[in-house]
C-alpha cells in the first residue's frame, strides 16, 4: 500500500514549483528588443568580440567611432522620432487654435465711405433658374471667392484687407448663399455690384466686373442685364464707361491747368 504524502512535503513541492514558474516568466518573458541590442564585431583575424557592460564599443572599420551601450529604459531611435513628430503636431495645432482667425475675403473697410454702387444682373433665360451647385462651380471658374456676408467676392490680389473689387449676391432676398445647403438652392438670377470708392479705380473695377458677369452668364446659360434690368448692349456699356471715367477724374483731386506762355 502506497504511503501518503505528508502536508509538509506537499507545501515544499508547491513552493519549488512556484519558484520555477517565476524564473520561467523572468527569462522567457523579457522584451525581444532588449535581447537584440547586443553588438558584435570581429577583428581582422576573424575573432568575435563580445561587448562588456559599461565598456565603449568601437567599430573595427572605424576605430574612432563609439557605439554607446544601450541603457535600461532608453527609447528606441524610431520611437523617439515618432514622439517628437507627435509633439510638433500637437504644438502646431494649439498654435493655430490660439491664433486669431483670418478675416473672411471681401470684407470692406469700415472707414471707407460708399458714394456709388454700380450693379449688373445675370438672370436665367426664360423661366430658367440657376442651381446652387452650378453657381458655386461657376463662381470658382470666374475667380470669385466665398466670404464676408455669405456672398462671393473678387478680392484685390495681395491686398485682401483693402476690400473687394466687386461682389456677387443672390438676386433673391436676403441675397446670401447658405453653403451648407447650396445643393438645395434655386434662384432666378445673380446680382453683381461694386461700391465706390474701392481698392481700384472705378473704370478698372468695371473692367474686372463686366467680364466676370459675362463669364458667369456663359457658364450658367443666362443673360447679363444692366441696373434697370434691361439687356446690356454695347451702347449702354460705353455710357457706363464714360460715367465711371468722369467719376475717376473727379476723385483724382484738383485738375492741373497749364498756364499760357508769355
In a domain, 32, yes or no: no
Structural domain harbouring 167? 116-250
Q: Looking at 4-8, 184-188, 232-236, which range is the least confident one?
A: 4-8
* Residue 235 forms part of a structural domain: yes
Q: Which of 62-66, 124-128, 204-208 ranks highest by mean pLDDT?
A: 204-208
Q: Which of 36-50, 155-169, 228-242 has the highest mean pLDDT?
A: 228-242
Is residue 20 exposed (0-12), middle (13-18) or buried (19+ Cβ within 10 Å)?
A: exposed
Ramachandran class of 134: left when φ > 0, alpha when ψ lies in -120 to 50, beta otherwise: alpha
Asked whether the predicted pLDDT for residue 249 surpasses 50, the reply is yes
Q: What does the block give as the cell for 200?
A: 481700384
pLDDT tier, 233 (very low <50, low <70, confident <90, very high otherwise)? very high
- Closest of 114, 117, 109 to residue 155, by C-alpha: 109
> Does residue 163 fall inside a structural domain?
yes
Angle at alpha carbon of residue 210, lines to 206 and 213, rounded to 5°: 140
Chain segment 100-144, per-residue pLDDT in tens: 455 566 666 666 778 899 999 999 998 899 999 999 999 999 999
Q: Report if residue 20 sits inside a domain.
A: no
Please enumerate in sequence order all residues whose Cβ is within 8 A of that of 56, keeping only pairs 6 or more positions apart, or say none. Answer: 66, 67, 68, 69
Query: What percentage of the chain has pLDDT greater than the value 90?
Result: 44
**CATH code (residue 200):** 3.30.1400.10
Q: CA 216 to CA 189: how far, in whole Å? A: 11
pTM of the model: 0.57
> Does some domain include residue 229?
yes
To which H or E segment does residue 240 belong? helix 234-250
Q: Give the per-residue pLDDT at 137.
A: 96
The pLDDT tens digits of the residues spanning 144-174 come to 999 888 999 999 887 777 789 999 999 999 9
d(CA 217, CA 190): 9
DSSP string, 31-70: -HHHHTT---EE-TTS-EE---TTSPEEETTEEEEEEPPP
Within a domain: 257: no
The rounded percent of the chain whose pLDDT value lies above 70 is 56
Q: Is the pLDDT of residue 16 over 80?
A: no
pLDDT recorded at residue 138: 96
- Report how far residue 66's alpha carbon sits from residue 63's, in angstroms, rounded to the nearest whole number: 8
Which of 21-25, 69-73, 147-151 comes out lowest in average pLDDT? 69-73
Geometric angle at alpha carbon 198, from 208 and 215, rounded to 5°:
20
Does residue 240 lie within any of the structural domains?
Answer: yes
Count the domains in the chain: 1
The answer to the question of residue 78 being in a domain is no
Amino acid at each position: 500500500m502506497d504511503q501518503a504524502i505528508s502536508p509538509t512535503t506537499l507545501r515544499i513541492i508547491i513552493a519549488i514549483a512556484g519558484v520555477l514558474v517565476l524564473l520561467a516568466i523572468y527569462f522567457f518573458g523579457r522584451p525581444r528588443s532588449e535581447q537584440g541590442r547586443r553588438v558584435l564585431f570581429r577583428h581582422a583575424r576573424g575573432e568575435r568580440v563580445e561587448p562588456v557592460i559599461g565598456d565603449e564599443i568601437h567599430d573595427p572599420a572605424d576605430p574612432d567611432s563609439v557605439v554607446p551601450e544601450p541603457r535600461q529604459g532608453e527609447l528606441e531611435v524610431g520611437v523617439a522620432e515618432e514622439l517628437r513628430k507627435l509633439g510638433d503636431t500637437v504644438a502646431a495645432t494649439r498654435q493655430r487654435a490660439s491664433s486669431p482667425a483670418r478675416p473672411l475675403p471681401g470684407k470692406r473697410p469700415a472707414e471707407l465711405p460708399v458714394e456709388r454702387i454700380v450693379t449688373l444682373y445675370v438672370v436665367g433665360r426664360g423661366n430658367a433658374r440657376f442651381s446652387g451647385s452650378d453657381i458655386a462651380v461657376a463662381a470658382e471658374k470666374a475667380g470669385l471667392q466665398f466670404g464676408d456676408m455669405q456672398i462671393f467676392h473678387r478680392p484685390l490680389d495681395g491686398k485682401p484687407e483693402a476690400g473687394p473689387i466687386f461682389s456677387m449676391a443672390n438676386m433673391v432676398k436676403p441675397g446670401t448663399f447658405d453653403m451648407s445647403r447650396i445643393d438645395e438652392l434655386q434662384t432666378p438670377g445673380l446680382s453683381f455690384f461694386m461700391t465706390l470708392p474701392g481698392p481700384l479705380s472705378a473704370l478698372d473695377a468695371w473692367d474686372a466686373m463686366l467680364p466676370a458677369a459675362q463669364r458667369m452668364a456663359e457658364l450658367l446659360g443666362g443673360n447679363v442685364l444692366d441696373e434697370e434690368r434691361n439687356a446690356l448692349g454695347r451702347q449702354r456699356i460705353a455710357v457706363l464707361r464714360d460715367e465711371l471715367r468722369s467719376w475717376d477724374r473727379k476723385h483724382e483731386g484738383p485738375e492741373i491747368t497749364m498756364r499760357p506762355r508769355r
